[in-house]
Amino acid sequence: MTPAGGISLTSAAMDGLPELSARTRLLVVAPHPDDETIATGLLIQRVRAAGGEVRILLLTAGDNNPWPQRWLERRIRIGADDRRRWGQRRRGEMLQALQQLGLDDSSLQPLDWPDMGLTELLLQSPRAAVATLAAAIDAFGPSLVLAPALSDHHPDHGSAHVLVRLALAGRSAPPPLLGYLVHGDRGDDSFEVAGSTLQVARKLAALEAHCSQMALSGTRMRHLAGRPECWAWPAPPLAALPWRPPAWLNPWLRLSVVSAAGVERWHWARAPLQRDDAGSWRLLPSAVAREAPVFARLTLALPTPWIFDHWGWCELS
């Protein structure tokens, strides 16, 4: 198996991972507290057992999660101070979880970006956000990066993938990047990594440390964490957009394109699109300033209580 970018795997990596050793420097990009445990709790332990180093780059404090807070604090209204206190609680829970996985407090690097706001951060301030992320990556110097998959349905997760890809773009020898999927269906091109009985037990103990999230979602989170950890290399870029939304939605559809050249956004009806012979939509090459990698996102500009993406992101060639 060879990841995008031509970085080959060692023959000793029978499960698809680059060989783990004392030289391994694993960087886990976690949009929220608990993502690191659910998606990489076993791998973290395996890297530490091999003598390697682990850094957790926490993008948000997970403070914009009102329903567990309302339930546990017996309150309806949540103000800015309440959210700040909730974020501090979640970070404390995360530090306890990391201890269960064999890490100390120094392994955590928080960026304090807005929870449920990574997409707008990416679309409004891409250069600043990418520069901050690139500096954090350079400071640690990882030999392997794990970040959310582009296809993850949580908007913070998909946008985190785009941010990481842009931060790694243009490097002559970028570290291998694997995507993990928390919210969504795993593809056929992914591979699984199992752990020992003790490692699984420690991972589940780490999950229980995130007690604020377990209060209302314990069953779902135990299911997510109980699955084998599953990762995939970034999929090849697409020539055409993968979406064919119904025409009656056109007034509310918004298309965004992000690359190293910047961000462009349109109403769907005004976007520089054309149909190909197969009936798929393609961006007009002359209409968009693009520099690889290039990512597109389709959204519906209507209020909804549903937080997950319906179309989300794709990568374009």
Q: What phi and psi values does residue 130 have, to the nearest 5 degrees?
A: -65, -40
Confidence of residue 287 (pLDDT cuts 50, 70, 90): low
- Joined together, the tokens standing for residue 92 give 């404390």
The conformation of residue 291, written as its DSSP 8-state character, comes to: -
Is the per-residue pLDDT at 216 higher than 90?
A: no
DSSP state of 20: P
pLDDT at 16: 64
**Alpha-carbon dihedral angle through residues 154, 292, 139, 94, given to the nearest 10 degrees:** 10
pLDDT grade for 189, boundaries at 50, 70 and 90 = confident
Q: Where in the chain is the domain with CATH 3.40.50.10320?
A: 25-232
CA distances from 163 to 15, 21, 72, 94, 149 (A): 27, 28, 33, 23, 11
Radius of gyration of the chain (CA): 20
Q: How confident is the model over 142-147, as a mean pLDDT?
A: 97
Reply yes or no on whether the pLDDT at 10 is more than 60: no
pLDDT of residue 317: 86
Residue keyed to tokens 């056929």: 188
Topology (CATH) of 25-232: Rossmann fold (3.40.50)
